[in-house]
Amino acid sequence: MAFLSDSLARVKPSPTIAVTTKAAELKAAGRDVIGLGAGEPDFDTPDNIKDAAKRAIDTGKTKYTPPDGIPELKQAIVDKFARENALTYTPGQISVGTGGKQVLYNALIATLNPGDEVLIPAPYWVSYPDMVLLGGGEPKIVETGIETGFKMTPGMLEDAITPKTKWLIFNSPSNPSGAGYSAAELKGLTDVLMRHPHVWLMTDDMYEHIAYAPFEFATPAQIEPRLFERTLTVNGVSKAYAMTGWRIGYAGGPEELIGAMRKIQSQSTSNPCSISQWAAVEALNGPQDFIRENCETFRRRRDLVVSMLNAIDGIECPVPNGAFYVYPSIAGLIGKTSAGGVLIEDDEAFATALLEETGVAVVFGAAFGLSPNFRVSYATSDTALKEACGRIQAFCDGMR
Ligand SMILES: Cc1ncc(COP(=O)(O)O)c(C=O)c1O
């Protein structure tokens, strides 16, 4: 009898964590490493949010809570969905979890049966396919490309749907490409979903607030209200409020699904951290101005990185309209050899040689299901970004 589960054998450890670990090892060995791998804002959590957490501790809000969130946070989420997304949820249609990651995971575990297919446009956030596999389902990757701005077209979606399709996992703006779907592009996709009533939509809106004008964020159920009954709208406080370590994510969806997710949470983590929940109440109800200011900083960094990378021979870097990542293509460098003697046969070889030879840590595209590319997170200082892009330029210029 095998000790480890069959479902565990189907998944791999997170490749983004592997890159971060390797970078940390080199740093510990005294190397000058610039990490462009982390998927988190470099800003500090705002003081009003920290103060709300301190108050929660001081007033004894340190006990178990209802499994999927305190009423005050559910109400703040209901208000947020109404205010920002024109979506009308009731508190019974809200689930709060330990990060958006747990919310997505709960939804998949709660609904997947063997053979169920889940459509995932590539490039995708690394965890989607593995979460589907852990849930016993089959990830079906819909490959996009630089030609469509890394976006799935209605035709691609239509072709990928089968009678076994249970979910489409949708993410805009996207990690890793930063691609954001306009309202018109969303309508094209929701029209396809309207023709296939057995397909549910899990929309991961985690980067909603990191969106650069003229692009405007929209969520699918807002564009097509008839999809509301089979949509799970997932969001969280990690990215917009610089709260990655607090671990609060949430979703709105039909009551039956939310109840099923609650059941799983009650038998796994019991509830998200009580103190973090009170901090999230303040995040959602408190001042929102700093979001726009942070977004402006990210836009400046995006422009800096895009222009520096596009100046390099062999690299093509589309301009993303959201999130804090760029996803350049290195098609023009495949087959070359680095100054350190490494044959750049794929994007993993590129990222590995880049780290070893220049100390710049990026994540290779294969980790996100679309090659040959790499992901840069520009959620770091302008100085570090300039230095890193300079090193990438020297690395590429040094290839034969
Ligand atoms: C696309 C996407 N979805 C979900 C998450 C999960 O965020 P959290 O669990 O911190 O809420 C992340 C984090 O990197 C992400 O990039």
Report the separation in Å between the CA atom of 119 and the middle of ligand 1, taken as the mean of its atom positions. Answer: 18
* % of the chain surpassing 90 pLDDT: 93
- For residue 100 and ligand 1, the question of a CB distance below 6 A is answered with yes
> Which residue of 101, 103, 171 sits with most ligand 1 atoms within 8 Å of its CB, as the best mutation to test the pocket?
101
Q: Degrees (nearest 5) of the Cα angle 254, 286, 50?
A: 105
d(CA 386, CA 323): 19
Residue 158 in 3-state DSSP?
helix
What pLDDT does residue 119 have?
98
- For residue 238 and ligand 1, the question of a CB distance below 6 A is answered with yes
- For residue 252 and ligand 1, the question of a CB distance below 6 A is answered with no
Average pLDDT, integer, range 273-300: 97
Label residue 15 by pLDDT band (50, 70, 90).
confident
> For residues 252, 254, 260 and 265, what is the CA-based torsion angle, rounded to 10 degrees?
10
What does the block give as tokens for 331?
Answer: 């098609």
Label residue 320 by pLDDT band (50, 70, 90).
very high
Residue with CA closest to ligand 1 atom 14: 39
Report the separation in Å between the CA atom of 128 and the middle of ligand 1, taken as the mean of its atom positions. Answer: 10
Report the separation in Å between the CA atom of 314 and the middle of ligand 1, taken as the mean of its atom positions. Answer: 31
Label residue 359 by pLDDT band (50, 70, 90).
very high
Residue with CA closest to ligand 1 atom 7: 100
- For residue 137 and ligand 1, the question of a CB distance below 6 A is answered with no
What does the block give as tokens for 307?
Answer: 């222009």
- The answer to whether 62 and 275 have CB atoms below 8 angstroms apart is yes
What pLDDT does residue 19 have?
78
Residue with CA closest to ligand 1 atom 13: 39
d(CA 231, CA 106): 15
**Bridge partners, 118 (sequence order):** 139, 167
What does pLDDT average to over the chain? 96
Report the separation in Å between the CA atom of 100 and the middle of ligand 1, taken as the mean of its atom positions. Answer: 6
- For residue 16 and ligand 1, the question of a CB distance below 6 A is answered with no
pLDDT value at 377 more than 90: yes
pLDDT in tens, 16-39: 777 788 888 999 999 999 999 888
What pLDDT does residue 1 have?
84
Average pLDDT, integer, range 196-201: 98
pLDDT in tens, 41-79: 999 999 999 999 999 999 999 999 999 999 999 999 999
DSSP H stretches of helix in 311-372: 347-358
Report the separation in Å between the CA atom of 236 and the middle of ligand 1, taken as the mean of its atom positions. Answer: 8
Cα distances (Å, whole numbers) of residue 118 to 37, 195, 201, 241: 27, 17, 10, 30
Q: In angstroms, what is the C-alpha Rg of the chain?
A: 21
**Bridge partners, 165 (sequence order):** 117
Q: Which atom of ligand 1 is nearest to the CA of 125?
A: 1
Q: Which atom of ligand 1 is nearest to the CA of 236?
A: 11
pLDDT in tens, 268-279: 999 999 999 999
- The answer to whether 114 and 138 have CB atoms below 8 angstroms apart is no
- For residue 101 and ligand 1, the question of a CB distance below 6 A is answered with yes
pLDDT in tens, 85-109: 999 999 999 999 999 999 999 999 9
What does the block give as tokens for 162?
Answer: 């089968």
- The answer to whether 180 and 215 have CB atoms below 8 angstroms apart is yes
- Length of the chain, please? 400
- For residue 377 and ligand 1, the question of a CB distance below 6 A is answered with no
- For residue 39 and ligand 1, the question of a CB distance below 6 A is answered with yes
Label residue 14 by pLDDT band (50, 70, 90).
confident
- For residue 14 and ligand 1, the question of a CB distance below 6 A is answered with no
Label residue 142 by pLDDT band (50, 70, 90).
very high
Report the separation in Å between the CA atom of 261 and the middle of ligand 1, taken as the mean of its atom positions. Answer: 18
Residue 52 CB neighbour total at 10 angstroms: 21
Q: Is beta strand 231-236 parallel, antiparallel or unpaired with respect to 138-143?
A: unpaired
Report the separation in Å between the CA atom of 206 and the middle of ligand 1, taken as the mean of its atom positions. Answer: 6
Burial class (CB in 10 A: 0-12, 13-18, 19+), 243: buried
Label residue 240 by pLDDT band (50, 70, 90).
very high
